[in-house]
Amino acid sequence: MSSDPTIFDAILAGDIPCHRVYEDEHVLAFLDIAPLSHGHVLVIPKERAAQMDDLSDEAAAALGRVLPRLCRAVMSATGCEAYNLLQNNGAEAHQAVFHVHIHIIPKFADGSGLGLKWNSRELTSPEELASAIQAAC
């Protein structure tokens, strides 16, 4: 266990109810209690980890394996044709619950869904940057 318990541990334990949409040995998915749009789902690993960089390869693989199926299920159930996957890490990045979770957020023609402000900047020192990240992998 790499972090303190959160409300998602209480959901995993069944101490707090949720509207479950999927569960397997490693993953639980349920409706977000304050959805940005109809069909907003949270997908969480059962392994407790605050951020994606804390998560084991095995738990991450289990999440990744089930994501396409869950996206298809949300599309089928809601009729959405567009959606965003959002995964916040750290309070500055808008993380409120410190247990890894991936949002599946349908986007509809009425504008409901994820609002985005894409603050694009000039790419600086790409060779050095790519080398530094590559070396840290």
Q: Just list the catalytic residues.
A: 101
Q: Among all chains, which residue has been given the structure tokens 């995964």?
A: 87
Q: Which stretch binds ligand 5GP (CB under 6 A): 44-52, 60-68, 94-102, 113-121?
A: 94-102
- Looking at the Cβ atoms of 17 and 68, the one nearer to ligand 5GP is 17
Q: Contact between 13 and ligand 5GP (CB under 6 A)?
A: no
Spatial CA neighbour of 21 closest among 47, 44, 51, 54: 44
User: What is the rounded distance in angstroms from the CA atom of residue 79 to the CA atom of residue 51?
Assistant: 31
Q: Contact between 52 and ligand 5GP (CB under 6 A)?
A: no
User: What is the rounded distance in angstroms from the CA atom of residue 71 to the CA atom of residue 132?
Assistant: 34
- Looking at the Cβ atoms of 5 and 123, the one nearer to ligand 5GP is 5
Q: Contact between 6 and ligand 5GP (CB under 6 A)?
A: no
Asked if 27 and 66 touch (Cβ cutoff 8 Å), the reply is yes
Q: Which stretch binds ligand 5GP (CB under 6 A): 20-28, 61-69, 90-98, 121-129?
A: 90-98
State residue 101 phi and psi, 5-degree precision.
-150, 145
Positions that interact with ligand 5GP (CB under 6 A): 7, 16, 18, 30-34, 42, 88, 94-97
